[in-house]
């Protein structure tokens, strides 16, 4: 009796020692058993079908959750001490692997990559015979490449030929070894006359566009008013326009129209009916000297560069010119030109252009210091070609030709001398 007990114990121990996980893969018609090893994944060929997986022989303390689904590359929890059954749907025929993890008590399902048979490509050796150039003229069939009548140029010799009867004849360059490279001759584009009626023109108020050179912002002693800066110079210049040429071109522009850039009056007049701000000639319509570029805008070299760079981009440059009138007689300009038309009791700073209104005054009040009946006005523009109504000048009229615009000195444009 004692011997039988020992024998039974040994048999149970032996069975436990040799137990290992097993997977049964079944369809509705057949079933296959495979051992699972933690050392190496099990790879099994599967066809497109529905399967049932049954994993047994897993020892330890583990419980698989209900409702698990088999998914690629996602560990499947297994039951310990009892079978784990799972449905599997295979959509593509191929090799699939089952990797068992003994520590985690899981099974990982993966599709194995296809094993393509390696083939070595061997390029066939063409069986051709090349004709050796012996010199002289050659005739080449080109009908498959160029239409009849096409003019061609040989890139090596520079010869021009025309396709006739699907062939061309020429003498290859002596340096090309008989090689010929034929290219179609590009037709020269006919010049198209520019028509401003169809042009896109971009207007630039230079002072208000882009400031690329702050060093010239206060030329001729011009100042800011420290308030809204409605009528002061803001610093835009020709260099600023140059900086923006690519932007202007990107808008589909054909030409740039610049506000006048010639030298403007240096000083200010009163702005608005109430003279609430100093009004400078930032707009370019109060010319002082038609032969110079206003320093606030730059210089002749800047203008030359602007035109050259614009032309490189296919842009034309239009220059605005105001030839109806000149600019006002500001305090700064009267002092600069040495024209003494001040009243005896005039109260002005050392630099007349620095004048500012006192309490109870506005920016028009600077006129109180000027004697508009002085004969010295003749030293200003001169009455032979400007009408202003000042002593020594013709008075403005009422017609479109003789009127004075906003009190500006009017050029006598009807003169024939």
Global model pTM greater than 0.85: no
Residues in the chain: 417
Across 109-122, average pLDDT? 74
Q: Does any domain span residue 121?
A: no
Burial of 261 (0-12, 13-18, 19+ CB in 10 A): buried
| Same domain as 224, residue 360 | yes
Distance, in Å, from the CA atom of 379 to the CA atom of 330, rounded to the nearest integer, reads 15
Model confidence at 19, in pLDDT bands (50, 70, 90)? low
Separation CA 3–CA 22 (nearest Å): 33
Whether residue 324 sits in one domain with residue 269: yes
pLDDT band at 185 (very low <50, low <70, confident <90, very high): confident
The yes-or-no verdict on residue 318 having pLDDT over 70 is yes
Among 184, 216, 241, residue at a domain's last position: 184
Q: Cβ atoms within 10 A of the Cβ of 243, count?
A: 15
**Residue 35, both tokens:** 């051992």
Whether 417 is in a domain gets the answer no
Q: 161 with 226, same domain? A: no
Q: Name the residue range of residue 156's domain.
A: 138-184
Same domain, 203 and 311: yes
Q: Would you say residue 209 lies in a domain?
A: yes
* Domains of the chain: total: 3
In a domain, 162, yes or no: yes
> Could you tell me if 208 and 175 lie in one domain?
no
Q: Mean pLDDT across the stretch 124-148?
A: 82
* pLDDT given for residue 211 in this prediction: 98
| Highest-confidence segment of 34-38, 97-101, 204-208 | 204-208
């Amino acid at each position: 009796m004692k011997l039988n007990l020992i024998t039974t114990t040994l048999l149970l121990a032996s069975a436990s020692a040799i137990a290992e996980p097993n997977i049964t893969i079944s369809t509705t018609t057949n079933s296959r058993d495979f051992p699972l090893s933690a050392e190496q994944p099990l790879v099994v060929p599967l066809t497109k079908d529905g399967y049932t997986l049954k994993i047994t022989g897993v020892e330890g303390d583990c419980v698989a959750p209900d409702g698990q689904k088999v998914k690629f590359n996602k560990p499947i929890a297994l039951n310990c001490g009892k079978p784990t059954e799972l449905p599997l749907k295979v959509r593509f025929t191929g090799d699939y692997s089952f990797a068992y993890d003994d520590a985690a008590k899981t099974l990982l399902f993966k599709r194995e990559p296809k094993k393509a048979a390696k083939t070595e490509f061997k390029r066939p050796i063409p069986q051709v015979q090349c004709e050796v150039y012996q010199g002289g003229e050659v005739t080449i069939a080109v009908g498959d490449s160029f239409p009849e009548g096409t003019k061609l140029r040989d890139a090596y010799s520079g010869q021009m030929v025309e396709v006739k009867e699907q062939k061309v004849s020429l003498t290859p360059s002596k340096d090309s070894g008989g090689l010929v490279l034929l290219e179609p001759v590009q037709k020269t584009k006919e010049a198209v006359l520019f028509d401003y009626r169809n042009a896109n023109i971009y207007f630039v108020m230079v002072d208000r566009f882009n400031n690329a050179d702050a060093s010239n912002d206060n030329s001729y002693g011009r100042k800011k008013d420290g308030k809204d800066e409605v009528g002061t110079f803001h610093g835009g210049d020709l260099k600023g326009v140059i900086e923006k040429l690519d932007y202007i071109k990107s808008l589909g522009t054909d030409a740039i129209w610049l506000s006048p850039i010639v030298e403007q009056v240096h000083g200010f007049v009163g702005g608005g009916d109430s003279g609430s701000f100093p009004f400078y000639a930032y707009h370019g319509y109060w010319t002082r000297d038609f032969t110079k570029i206003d320093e606030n805008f730059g210089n002749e070299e800047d203008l030359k560069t602007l035109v050259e760079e614009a032309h490189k981009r296919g842009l034309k440059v239009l220059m605005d010119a105001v030839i109806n009138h000149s600019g006002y007689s500001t305090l700064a300009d009267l002092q600069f030109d040495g024209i003494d038309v001040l009243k005896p009791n005039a109260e002005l700073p050392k630099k007349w252009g620095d004048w500012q209104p006192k309490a109870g005054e506005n920016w028009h009040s600077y006129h109180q210091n000027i004697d508009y009946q002085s004969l010295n006005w003749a030293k200003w523009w001169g009455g032979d070609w400007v009408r202003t109504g000042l002593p020594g000048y013709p008075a403005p009229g009422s017609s479109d030709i003789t009127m004075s615009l906003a009190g500006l000195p009017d050029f006598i444009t009807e003169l024939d001398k």
